[in-house]
Structure 1
Amino acid sequence: MGAQILRFETPDGPVEVAVTDCVVAGWTGRDKAAIDHHIEELAEIGVPGPSTVPLYYRCAVEQLIQSDHVQVIGGDSSGEVEPVLVATESGLYLTVGSDHTDRKVETYSIAVSKQMCPKVLGSTAWPVSLDDDLDALVLEATATIKGAEEPYQTGTFALIRPLKDLVDGYGGLKPGTVMLCGTVPVTGGIRPADRLAISITDPANGRSLAHAYDIETLPVVS
């Protein structure tokens, strides 16, 4: 089985992970109102609602990258900040990521749209216990659009299902598995950007997991 090698800086030193499975948890809002809000956001751009919540989409591990530059086909994709769990032989780590997705393809197949674009992860991570109360951690994304920075997303982990519930709902995470765990509402509607800065911040001590990447749009030809 092929593996994607990811490397993280952690408080305990560098960690290298051979990733063999990538899972994107979708529709992970903790309450019905939050889920309905996200469904409405996507409905505005033609994306049908889910058959059940949450849903677990599998993606090729080759889609996982730790880069500050991505290339996408056409101008219909966008990212979204997410907590990301990385399962290793020595335990779980938390990092920040972006579930970059082709929104045009998403209108006819969410599963296919997940495979169309890279899943961008940061290069720093914290060890994490799913038994800890993580609700106060803050997710934030800032988009650069036509040269101007705009607030794009902000919200706490309290807006999404507890990560333990997501992992249990999937049946657990074996070592070598990466799970993207869902997002928080977008300010001003889902839209493409030229650059996306994403972060997870712990307000208790001010430490953060941060990453940013530029989006290069390639032409669609036929």
Structure 2
Amino acid sequence: MFPLRFDVGGEVVEVSVSALLNGGYAGRSQQDVAAHVAELAELGVPAPSRTPCLYPVAPYLAMQTREVPVQHARTSGEAEWALVVAGPDERDVLLTVACDHTDRDLEVHGVAWSKQAGPDVLGDAAWRLVDVADRVDELTLTAWAGGERIQRGTLAELLPPQHWLDELRERDLLRPGAVLLSGTIPMAPEVDQFADSWRVELGDPTSGEVLSCDYRVARMLDPVA
């Protein structure tokens, strides 16, 4: 596995991923989450036994890439933020932008399986969480699928980073090399999520800074079998 490298205010921070986790059904309003679970159940997506969820994913799926190979046309990204534990101290916890690329056909058979079928794409730059912690709810998440805006919201819509730090600590996972993705915000239903490219931005309205990740989706050859 290649280490991830982040530009943190001009400093290059390198992280070898030892644990990768995806949050799911992670809206701040769990009442809204319950309604969403019911909607997905009607589409055939199995309901979780509890919310929010936490899905372990193979560490090698944490990538900084410009291309995501896929096996079919029904895969798509999700706008998310990610926590990256880069060292032993509080100041070593980084916040970056991420896109969880998910196999939607597999999702109806098991959400955990669908998470394992695609990478978690992370941005090349990050902020130290302590530097933005006082305004984290003001940070914005925006995503474009094939050039059309499909997601737009703030981190106030999702469970806060501290929730997940506490969860990692409780599970003895809050150690260098841990990466956790936040779960996502609603998608605009009129935009086709099965696009040939995805771009996600994490913005700080106070500083004007924007972290981004973007990639194209490349269909692989059909199996020879």
Alignment TM-score > 0.5, same fold: yes
How far is 1:59 from its partner?
Answer: 0.7
For structure 1, the 5+ residue unaligned runs are none
Q: Percent identity?
A: 37
Within 5 Å, which residues of 2 pair with 1:56-95?
56-89=54-87, 90=89, 91-95=92-96
* SS of structure 2 residue aligned to 1:86: strand
Tell me if the contact between 1:4 and 1:64 (Cα under 8 Å) persists in the aligned partners: no
Instruction: Report the AA paired with residue 162 of structure 1.
Output: P
Q: Aligned-residue CA RMSD in angstroms?
A: 1.9
Deviations 1:105-133 (A, max 9, x none): 11111111111011111101111128534
Q: How many residues align?
A: 216
- 1:140 and 1:200 in contact (8 A); partners too: yes
Q: C-alpha displacement at 1:49, in angstroms?
A: 1.8
Contact 1:137 1:156 survives alignment (8 Å): yes
Give the equivalent residue in structure 2 for 1:114: 115
Q: Does 1:162 align with 2:163?
A: no
Shift of 1:164: 0.3
Segments of structure 2 that go 5 or more residues without pairing to the other structure are none
What whole-Å deviation, never above 9, does each CA across 1:92-115 have from its counterpart, x for those lacking one?
A: 011111111101111111111111
The one-letter code matched in structure 2 to 1:31 is S
Change (3 A) 1:200 1:34: farther
Residue identity matched to 2:127: W
Is residue 29 of structure 1 aligned with residue 27 of structure 2? yes
1:141 aligns with 2:143: yes
1:123 and 2:108 are equivalent in the alignment: no
1:8/1:41 CA distance change after superposition, 3 Å = farther
* Aligned amino acid, residue 126 of structure 1: W
Shift, 1:47, TM fit:
1.1
TM-score (norm 1): 0.90
Distance 1:120 1:28, change over 3 A: same
Q: Which has the higher helix share?
A: 2
Q: Separation in 1 of the partners of 2:15 and 2:158?
A: 26
8 Å Cα contact 1:4-1:61 kept in structure 2: no
CA distance in 2, matches of 1:218, 1:133: 42
Distance 2:153 2:166 in 1: 23
Name the SS of the counterpart of 1:19 in structure 2: coil
Q: CA deviation at 1:39?
A: 2.6
Residue 132 (structure 1) aligns with: 134
- Residue 192 (structure 2) pairs with residue 199 (structure 1): no
Would the aligned equivalents of 1:38 and 1:185 in 2 still touch at CA under 8 Å?
no
Cα pair 1:4 1:20 within 8 Å, conserved:
no
Look up the SS of the partner of 1:135 in the other structure: helix
Mapped to 2, the partners of 1:193 and 1:71 lie a distance apart of 13
Q: Which amino acid aligns with 1:209?
A: L
**Structure 1 residues 34, 204: closer, same or farther in 2, change over 3 A?**
farther
Taking a change above 3 Å as real, the CA distance of residues 212 and 131 of structure 1, as seen in their structure-2 partners, is closer
Deviations 1:63-85 (A, max 9, x none): 11101111011111110010001
Counterpart position of 2:16? 18
- 1:34-64: CA deviations, max 9, x gaps? 3145435644642122110111111111111
Question: Is 1:37–1:185's contact at 8 Å kept on the other side of the alignment?
Answer: no
Higher share of residues assigned strand: 1
Partner of 1:97: 98
Tell me the residue number matched to 2:183: 182
Give the alignment's TM-score, normalised by structure 2: 0.89
